[in-house]
Structure 1
Amino acid sequence: MGTDDRVRAVYPGSFDPFTPGHLDVVDRARGIFDEVVVLVAVNGDKHPDADEKKRAAAVRAVLPPDWTTVTVAAWRGLTAAYCRDHDAAVIVRGVRNTSDIQAESRLAAMNESLGVATVFLPARPELAAVSSTVARAARR
Structure 2
Amino acid sequence: MTRAVFPGTFDPVTAGHLDVVERARRLFDEVVVLVAVNGDKQPTRVGETRAEAVRAALPSDWGNVSVVAWRGLTAEYCRRHDVGVIVRGVRNAADARREQELAAMNDALGVPTLLLPARPALATVPSTAVRASEV
Interval containing the TM-score (normalised by the shorter chain): over 0.9
The Cα of 1:46 is off from its aligned counterpart by 1.4
What secondary structure does 1:91 align onto? strand
1:96 equivalent in structure 2? 91
After TM superposition, the score normalised by the length of structure 2 is: 0.98
Distance 1:26 1:60 in 2: 12
Give the 3-state SS of the residue equivalent to 1:126 in structure 2.
Answer: helix
Q: Does 1:47 align with 2:42?
A: yes
1:17 aligned residue = 12
How many pairs align?
Answer: 135
1:111 aligns with 2:106: yes
Task: Measure the CA separation in 2 of the matches of 1:46 and 1:135.
Answer: 16
Structure 2 spans left out of the alignment, 5+ residues: none
- Post-superposition Cα deviations, 1:63-111, rounded to whole Å, max 9, x if no partner, equal 0111000000000000000000010000000000000000000000000
Aligned to 2:132: 137
Query: What is the TM-score of this pair, normalised by structure 1?
Result: 0.94
* Distance of 1:44 and 1:99 partners within structure 2: 23
User: Counterparts of 2:32 and 2:129 in 1: how far apart (Å)?
Assistant: 24
RMSD of aligned alpha carbons: 0.7
Amino acid of the residue matched to residue 18 of structure 1? V
Identity %: 65
User: Which residue in 2 is equivalent to 1:3?
Assistant: none
* Greater helix proportion: 2
Q: Which amino acid letter does the alignment assign opposite residue 25 of structure 2?
A: R
Cα distance in 2 for residues equivalent to 1:113 and 1:133: 30
Moved more, 36-45 or 13-22: 36-45
What SS does the aligned partner of 2:45 have? Answer: coil
